[in-house]
């Protein structure tokens, strides 16, 4: 059995989701910075590095720090809903992305709350500015659970279980193209 398209779909989906999750996470920081009267100096996105948003002025660091995870969870859900409305057969790809973002952002804050003391990551900034560990866990655990719930039943779409390696080849090619476009855009913009 040829599993080329299955592997292509899984690898490109995970790669795309990782990079796109960081884009939306940083967009959340930017949106909340603007909402709080802050000024963004630079958003760093590179396919081989962790993303970050540097601010010139940040009058509300707590608002900005929460923005990454909150928008990073909400925007993928909106994207999933739009894809479901416009292109239902391919909505499993958007569902996988939404689940990925929920799990990643939830784990980032919940897990980060145990190592945040004095760190410059979002959990550290939140806790340094009055946020409590239980709040990060209360956000993170339900986000992770929701992500796992969204992923429930998607296995056959990725050739797992009864699908025995069969996947939508157009979906595999589309995800690969999206991944390559995102990598190229990040390499160009990171200069």
**How many Cβ atoms from other residues are within 10 Å of residue 47's Cβ?**
16
Cα separation, 122 vs 129, in Å, equals 11
User: Nearest Cα to 9, choosing from 183, 178, 190, 176?
Assistant: 176
Per DSSP, 121 falls in state S
Buried-exposed string 74-83: b where 16+ CB fall within 10 A, e elsewhere:
bbbbebbeeb
Q: What DSSP string describes 52-85?
A: EEEEEE-S-HHHHHHHHHHHHHHHHHHHHHHHHH
- Average pLDDT along the chain, 191 residues, taken 10 residues at a time: 90 98 98 97 96 96 98 98 95 98 97 80 94 97 98 97 94 97 95 73
What's the total number of domains in the chain?
1
Q: Which pLDDT belongs to residue 118?
A: 61
For residue 167, give its domain range.
4-189
- pLDDT tens for 18-27 read 999 999 999 9
Residue 16 · residue 160 · CB < 8 Å: no
Give 89: exposed, middle or buried? Use CB within 10 Å, 0-12, 13-18, 19+: exposed
Q: Which pLDDT belongs to residue 191?
A: 73
């Amino acid at each position: 059995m040829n599993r080329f398209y299955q592997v292509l779909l899984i690898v490109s989906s995970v790669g795309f989701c990782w990079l796109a999750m960081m884009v939306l996470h940083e967009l959340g920081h930017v949106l909340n910075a603007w909402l709080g009267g802050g000024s963004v100096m630079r958003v760093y996105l590179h396919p081989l590095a962790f993303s970050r948003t540097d601010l010139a002025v940040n009058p509300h660091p707590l608002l900005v720090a929460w923005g990454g995870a909150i928008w990073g969870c909400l925007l993928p859900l909106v994207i999933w809903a739009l894809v479901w409305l416009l292109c239902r057969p391919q909505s499993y790809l958007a569902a996988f992305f939404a689940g990925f973002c929920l799990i990643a952002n939830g784990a980032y804050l919940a897990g980060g709350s145990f190592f945040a003391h004095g760190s410059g990551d979002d959990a550290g900034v939140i806790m340094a500015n009055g946020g409590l560990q239980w709040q990060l866990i209360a956000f993170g655990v339900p986000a992770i659970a929701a992500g796992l719930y969204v992923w429930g039943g998607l296995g056959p779409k990725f050739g797992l279980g009864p699908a025995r390696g069969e996947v939508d080849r157009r979906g595999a090619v589309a995800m690969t193209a999206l991944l390559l476009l995102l990598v190229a855009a990040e390499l160009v913009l990171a200069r």
